[in-house]
Structure 1
Amino acid sequence: MTTNTTIGGSTATVSQQLLDTMNGTSTASSSSSTSGTSANDLQTTFLQLLVTQLQNQDPTDPMDSSQMTSQLAQIDTVSGIGQLNTSLSSLSTQLSAGQNAQAALLIGSTVLAPGSSFAVAAASSGSGDATAQIGVSLPAAASDVKLTITNSAGQVVNTIDLGAQSAGTVPVSWTPTDATGAVLPAGTYTVSAAATTNGQAATATALVASQVTGVVQQTGGAAGLQLANGKTVALSNVAGIE
């Protein structure tokens, strides 16, 4: 129940809630049941307190207007931040929906994404004309880049020297042959990437091509692509679309 208190000898009254707020004596239970903590609630309470203070101020010692202006500005800032958070949340939801729609369009497409394992198909007529789509991603330019290919037994079958490369995605269409030029049999192979810049090791990420078979929602709402090679990659990690 809300009670009113008369201030001084005047007829002005102040609710018990405002008095408790002014004196800092309101309890947690009364605060939760009679007042809110949002920016709008704080602004309403402040304006009620302000009007009450103005009505009962000492004419010979009026309130400091600069403090009132500062307090109002602080409340407006809190209110603005709350509205901004709401807008950003709405924008994030819209972006996630757009990403999911974009990812769905990739189903059935072949994408180049971080990975190591890839399949080699049998070359027709033993001519070695089958190709494997692999590559490397470089965050910065490198003076020398190499891709190392190993078979399912862990044996190195070939090394591809790409030389100097600029930053970005470097796709490679590789004919599956060993170091002597002999055609490699069909099977599963592994690629690893290494880069150097002025003799110092640099960052390089191997890429392999695989078909998109589905779309899933990852932690945080981001879209993830399910690939035919059994991997799931974030849409943002796709380096190329074939």
Structure 2
Amino acid sequence: MDISNTTARNQSTDNSGSAVLGNGSSAEEMSTMFLELLVAQISNQNPLQPMDGTAYVSQLAEFSNVESLQSIKKNTGASLDHNSSMLVLEATNLVGETVAVPADVIALEKPGTVSGLVNLSTPADSVTVQLYNSNGELVEEQQLPYSGVGSLSFEFEQQDAGGYSINAFSTTQGVSQRLTPWLNGEVERVSVGSSSADILLQVDGLGNFALTDINQVA
């Protein structure tokens, strides 16, 4: 018996086994390949220098780790696909609903109401919201009732068709701070891209917004 050739054959089997296991596409395929390689190693081992039994145990443990990682990857991918599908379904259900989005300009195609809210993170002495027309003229101003931090709603009724802008600010001890207005609008259309991050909501009179831009559904 040519021991050197047998030993070389054994080493070649070990190296090819590592390469094949590293490129396995599924846990089932990898399991089959591992068993085939294990049988090949036992059949072609050097009878004068047989492999230690701990080596087989070590290989089995390594294979189990790879198999576990493959399973985790598969389950994670399935979970992400499910979440993306749920987000798309949630977005399409918003068509016809009124949502609040971060915007300070709005275009009314017909006479109507300009409404929305402002969020306060710190106490203030007063909160003011101003409505301007497309010419920059002050149309109406409101002092919002204040009871602490949180959300305060505003509404400017009976406005003519046209473009408007909102200026909101709080005042504390004579110092003013600009506030981000959130305007209400109806979702007219939902655009879905290749992923959930590409979902866009077309809001009447306000423009396009991501699903994560929504503050609340009115």
| TM bucket, shorter chain | 0.5 to 0.7
Distance change in 2, residues 1:23/1:99 (3 Å): closer
Determine the structure 2 residue equivalent to 1:188: 163
Distance 1:101 1:166 in 2: 33
Give the partner amino acid of 1:241: V
Determine the structure 2 residue equivalent to 1:8: 3
Give the partner amino acid of 1:211: E
Between Structure 1 and Structure 2, the one with more helix by share is 2
Of 112, 116, 139, the residue aligned with 1:134 is: 116
Of 175, 179, 183, the residue aligned with 2:156 is: 175
Alpha-carbon contact 2:13-2:40 (below 8 Å) kept: no
Distance 1:194 1:172 in 2: 13
Distance change in 2, residues 1:148/1:79 (3 Å): farther
Distance 1:202 1:218 in 2: 38
Of 186, 204, 211, the residue aligned with 2:186 is: 211
Task: Give the alignment's Cα RMSD to 1 decimal.
Answer: 4.5
Determine the structure 2 residue equivalent to 1:78: 66
Distance 1:203 1:79 in 2: 55
Determine the structure 2 residue equivalent to 1:143: 123
Instruction: Provide Cα deviations, 1:49-82, integer angstroms capped at 9, x if missing partner.
Output: 44444453567775261x5434433322222222
Distance change in 2, residues 1:23/1:134 (3 Å): closer
Deviation at 1:216, TM superposition (A): 0.7
Question: Among the aligned pairs, what percent are the same residue?
Answer: 23
Of 13, 20, 35, the residue aligned with 2:12 is: 20
Distance change in 2, residues 1:190/1:22 (3 Å): same
Of 149, 153, 162, the residue aligned with 1:166 is: 149
1:51-90 to structure 2, matched below 5 A, reads: 51-54=39-42, 56=45, 63=52, 65=54, 68-90=56-78
Distance 2:182 2:51 in 1: 73
Alpha-carbon contact 1:142-1:164 (below 8 Å) kept: no
Structure 2: runs of 5 or more not aligned: none
User: How does the TM-score come out when normalised to structure 1?
Assistant: 0.61
Instruction: Provide Cα deviations, 1:86-110, integer angstroms capped at 9, x if missing partner.
Output: 2222222222222222222222222
Deviation at 1:9, TM superposition (A): 9.1
Structure 1: runs of 5 or more not aligned: 1-5, 123-129, 177-182
1:153 equivalenced with 2:135 (yes/no): yes
Structure 1, 41-50 or 81-90: larger mean CA deviation:
41-50
Aligned positions, number: 209
State the SS of the aligned residue for 1:143. coil
Determine the structure 2 residue equivalent to 1:233: 209
Deviation at 1:231, TM superposition (A): 1.4
Distance 1:38 1:81 in 2: 12
Determine the structure 2 residue equivalent to 1:117: 105
Instruction: Provide Cα deviations, 1:3-36, integer angstroms capped at 9, x if missing partner.
Output: xxx86299xx7996x7535357x9xxxx79xx94
